[in-house]
């Protein structure tokens, strides 16, 4: 028997060792496949709207120079194609390898871009552009889509136009986008003007891991195209400061993009380190110089090492991209983010794809992160510490509590003794759900609604959890019910825990029809209960105004002046004046009724008030009785605190719900442990002990810190380096992470 046990144990041990080896092998293989995918050439398809509405949104047809910019930036070895669409879809430039001949053909074809399309066949354009896309194509595949309208395939005057367009949108989201998901291709969407269907374009980007971007007018179109191109064809840069940049010996090629502010701007030129001057008219044949109305694009192979200067207008969008074996690798900055997202960023320097981990090099390298918000505020933080180089050469930082909707730019800058590198990333914070809240006077409750901004949300698999904190500091976690008639998750909060301030924090886990997941944690909603009827409040204000007017006439004016400062009796001990409903002093606007008082007796009233304090020893309670009462109260409070602390571990969260609707999560007590950790960071500001970088009020004055690891310049819009107040445990979502089959089983 002992021999059998040993034999059995040996087999189990061998099985475990084999499993471990296989897991390691497949893990390494997966990582290798991912790295190989990053080195693949690019396949970029560009889709441009030519519908009639473009005559208003792009009257000067700036789509042509913006497209020319992308064509010039397209690297050799890539393949690309161009489509236009109105009612019909046209493959303007077939997909082919990018070289000088292809660029010339594409630029000649782009001249034919117009604005005469009668409709907006967005679904058909994306369907045609998916030709040839597949998961094993050998390319990194992406699409850049520009439109200023909505899906519109119904003929003018058609009574069923809404039904036709709704069916077309559903076809787009369910059938067409499936081709891109299967192929692993990203769609980067650009909304030109407020006429575009922004919700639909955001959903398209979300479904395909693409970037959603907006250009309010045609003038901003080129910069929006550039942001999308950076996501489709990422490249290393060197920092450009006051049109000055440094090229090191490892750079094989650089491309300088110089923007012009107006047609009368000075002609651009480049001053080489050796003193040579390059211009559009005077440059070697090895230099490719493309001049357009609003920019110059100069590509130089085997450039001279040293400091280069651009003689041109200063513009924050001027940039220099490079081709070099020495590069920056950055992971963890997605194209689309949501409120409450936690971004864990990993940064490393690589040489020919291998991470540089030599301590001697890392100690001489300064690494910094710079963030620019949608409103234009910016700040930076130094990530490196010469005394503590990052283990394995990988810098790890976190971006948390991002709140501002819109476009963000994240710059990573590395500066060594002989080189400089920069990577820029655009990401867009979107809110896929709309949250509204207001008091419901008829029911005496506070009503909160969460509504999807797109019909692509799978409401059966999506969930909304509400954490309600009452005035007594107790917490209730509830599953919010989806109201089919209202097509929204609705929570109605009652004053079940007494009057005072309530706070509701929402946790939204959304699932799209294709199974894409997103998580949103919006700002907390704070309100007071019970609700004072609006009519009553307005009536009180009106009565107060009338009383004020009347009180200024005759003897009433003297009465008002003689009234004591406080007329309400104090509330229960320990309650604030706001909780008791008592104002600290009565102002003229607060008086709703004036009681006539004989002016001759005013002095007597004041005298009585003064005598109260003097006669309290004889007529009031003795001081020692008050002392006894105070001691008794302290004892009672202490006993209550002791009892509460003893009981607290067993009732850390009062998880209750009145939800009994079929399909909703009923057993919230079982979910309490899963969800409690996810809400810990919502209880307080989370600022204590957290290294945070704050934005300067004047973004232009905020510069990157020169020294001191962890120097900061941001405000509460985001924080770096999470502390224990920030929940980073994805497992805390429990059932929300289960697949659809498990969810269906639970409903049954």
| DSSP, residue by residue, 247-269 | E-TTEEEEEEEEE-SSTTSPPPE
Tell the residue number behind the tokens 């009383």, with chain if given.
Answer: 547
Mean pLDDT of 19-29: 39
Nearest Cα to Cα of residue 575 among 634, 501, 632, 508: 501
**Confidence tier at 641 by pLDDT (50, 70, 90):** low
- What angle, 0 to 180 degrees and rounded to 10, lies between the N-to-C axes of helices 100-110 and 63-73? 170
pLDDT digits (tens, 9 = 90+) for 462-511: 999 999 999 999 999 999 999 999 999 999 999 999 999 999 999 999 99
Lowest mean pLDDT among 230-244, 284-298, 375-389, 549-563: 549-563
Is residue 148 within 8 A of residue 58, CB to CB? The reply is yes
**Confidence tier at 38 by pLDDT (50, 70, 90):** low
What pLDDT, on the 0 to 100 scale, is given for residue 501?
95
**Could you tell me which residues are beta bridge partners of residue 407?**
428
Lowest mean pLDDT among 31-40, 375-384, 395-404: 31-40
What pLDDT, on the 0 to 100 scale, is given for residue 658?
35
Sign of the CA dihedral running 66, 72, 77, 81: positive
- 731: tokens are 């497992």
- What angle, 0 to 180 degrees and rounded to 10, lies between the N-to-C axes of helices 122-129 and 161-171? 20
pLDDT digits (tens, 9 = 90+) for 410-450: 999 999 999 999 999 999 999 889 999 999 988 999 999 99
Same fold, 237-324 and 327-430+688-701: yes
Q: How many residues does the chain have?
A: 748
For 327-430+688-701, give the CATH class.
mainly beta
Is residue 193 within 8 A of residue 147, CB to CB? The reply is no
What pLDDT, on the 0 to 100 scale, is given for residue 37?
56
Nearest Cα to Cα of residue 594 among 630, 640, 638, 561: 561
Is residue 332 within 8 A of residue 345, CB to CB? The reply is yes
**Could you tell me which residues are beta bridge partners of residue 241?**
244
The one-character DSSP state at 120 is: B
3-state per-residue secondary structure call for 144-189 = EEEECCCCECCCCCCCCHHHHHHHHHHHHHHHHHHHHHHHCCEEEE
Q: Where are the domains of the chain?
A: 36-232, 237-324, 327-430+688-701, 534-597
Regarding beta strands 420-429 and 336-337, do their DSSP bridges make them parallel or antiparallel, or are they unpaired? Answer: parallel
Query: Domain 36-232 is of which CATH architecture?
Result: 3-Layer(aba) Sandwich (3.40)
Mean pLDDT of 449-470: 91
**Confidence tier at 155 by pLDDT (50, 70, 90):** confident
What pLDDT, on the 0 to 100 scale, is given for residue 661?
37
Can you give the pTM of this predicted structure? 0.70
pLDDT digits (tens, 9 = 90+) for 299-353: 999 999 999 999 998 888 899 999 999 999 999 999 999 887 889 999 999 999 9
Most confident of the following: 154-163, 390-399, 734-743: 390-399
Rg, C-alpha atoms of the chain: 33
What are the angstrom distances between the C-alpha of 719 and each of 362, 383, 687?
25, 13, 9
Domain 237-324, CATH among 3.40.1350, 1.20.1070, 1.10.730, 2.60.40: 2.60.40
pLDDT digits (tens, 9 = 90+) for 96-122: 999 989 999 999 999 989 888 888 899
Q: What average pLDDT does the chain have? A: 75
What are the angstrom distances between the C-alpha of 697 and each of 7, 69, 687?
72, 34, 19
């Amino acid at each position: 028997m002992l021999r059998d046990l040993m034999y059995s144990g040996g087999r189990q041990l061998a099985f475990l060792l084999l499993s471990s080896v296989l897991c390691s092998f497949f893990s390494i293989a997966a990582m290798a496949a991912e790295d190989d995918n990053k080195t693949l050439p690019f396949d970029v398809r560009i889709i441009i709207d030519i519908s009639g509405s473009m005559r208003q949104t792009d009257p000067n047809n700036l789509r042509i120079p913006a497209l020319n910019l992308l064509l010039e930036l397209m690297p050799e070895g890539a393949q690309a194609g161009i489509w236009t669409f109105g009612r019909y879809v046209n493959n303007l430039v077939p997909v082919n390898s990018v070289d000088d001949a292809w660029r010339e053909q594409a630029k000649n074809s782009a001249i034919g871009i117009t604005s005469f399309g009668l409709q907006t066949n967005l679904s058909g354009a994306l369907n045609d552009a998916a030709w040839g896309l597949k998961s094993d194509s050998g390319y990194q595949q992406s699409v850049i889509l520009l439109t200023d309208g909505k899906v519109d395939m119904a003929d003018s005057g058609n009574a069923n136009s809404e039904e036709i367009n709704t069916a077309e949108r559903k076809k787009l989201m369910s059938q067409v986008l499936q081709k891109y998901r299967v192929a692993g291709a990203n769609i980067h969407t650009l909304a030109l003007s407020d006429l575009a269907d922004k919700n639909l374009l955001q959903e398209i980007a979300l479904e395909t891991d693409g970037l959603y971007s907006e250009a309010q007018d045609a003038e901003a179109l080129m910069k929006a195209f550039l942001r999308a191109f950076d996501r489709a064809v990422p490249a290393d840069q060197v920092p450009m400061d006051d049109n000055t940049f440094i090229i090191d010996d490892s750079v094989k090629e650089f491309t300088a993009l110089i923007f012009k502010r107006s047609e009368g701007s000075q002609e651009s030129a480049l001053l080489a380190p050796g003193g040579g001057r390059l211009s559009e008219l005077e440059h070697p044949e090895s230099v490719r110089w493309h001049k357009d109305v609003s920019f110059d694009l100069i590509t130089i192979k085997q450039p001279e090492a040293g400091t280069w200067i651009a003689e041109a207008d200063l513009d924050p969008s001027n940039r220099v991209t490079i081709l070099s074996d020495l590069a920056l690798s950055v992971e963890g900055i997605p194209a689309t983010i949501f409120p409450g997202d936690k971004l864990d960023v990993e940064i490393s320097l690589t040489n020919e794809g291998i991470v540089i981990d030599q301590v001697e090099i890392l100690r001489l390298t300064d690494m910094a992160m710079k963030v620019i918000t949608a409103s234009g505020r910016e700040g930076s933080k130094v990530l490196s510490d010469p005394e503590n180089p990052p283990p394995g050469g990988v810098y790890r930082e976190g971006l948390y509590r991002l709140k501002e909707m819109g476009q963000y730019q994240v710059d990573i800058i590395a500066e060594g003794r002989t080189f400089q590198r920069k990577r820029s990333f655009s990401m867009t914070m979107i809110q896929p759900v709309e949250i509204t809240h207001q008091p419901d006077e008829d029911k005496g409750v506070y009503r909160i609604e969460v509504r999807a901004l797109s019909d692509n949300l799978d409401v059966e698999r999506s969930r909304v959890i509400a954490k309600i904190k009452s005035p007594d500091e107790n917490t209730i976690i509830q599953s919010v019910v989806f109201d089919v008639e209202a097509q929204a998750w609705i929570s109605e909060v009652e004053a079940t825990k007494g009057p005072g301030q309530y706070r509701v924090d929402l946790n939204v886990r959304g699932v799209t029809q294709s199974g894409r997941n997103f998580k949103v944690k919006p700002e907390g909603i704070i309100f007071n209960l019970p609700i004072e009827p609006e009519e009553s409040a307005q009536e009180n204000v009106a009565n107060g105004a009338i009383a004020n007017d009347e009180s200024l006439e005759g003897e009433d004016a003297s009465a008002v002046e003689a009234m004591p400062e406080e007329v309400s009796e104090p509330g229960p001990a320990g309650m604030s004046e706001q909780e008791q409903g008592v104002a600290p002093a009565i102002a003229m606007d607060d008086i709703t009724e004036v009681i006539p008082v004989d002016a001759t007796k005013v002095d007597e009233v004041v005298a009585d008030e003064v005598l109260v304090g003097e006669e309290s020893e004889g007529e009031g309670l003795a001081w020692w009785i008050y002392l006894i009462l105070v001691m008794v109260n302290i004892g009672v409070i202490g006993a209550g605190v002791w009892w509460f602390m003893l009981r607290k571990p067993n009732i850390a969260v009062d998880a209750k719900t009145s939800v009994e609707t079929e399909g909703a999560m009923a057993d919230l007590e079982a979910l309490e442990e899963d969800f409690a950790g996810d809400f810990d960071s919502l209880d307080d500001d989370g600022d204590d002990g957290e290294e945070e970088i704050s934005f300067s009020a004047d973004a232009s004055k905020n510069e990157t810190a020169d020294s001191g690891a962890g120097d900061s310049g941001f405000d509460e819009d985001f924080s770096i380096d999470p502390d224990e107040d920030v929940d980073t445990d994805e497992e805390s979502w429990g059932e929300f992470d289960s697949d659809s089959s498990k969810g269906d089983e639970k409903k049954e």
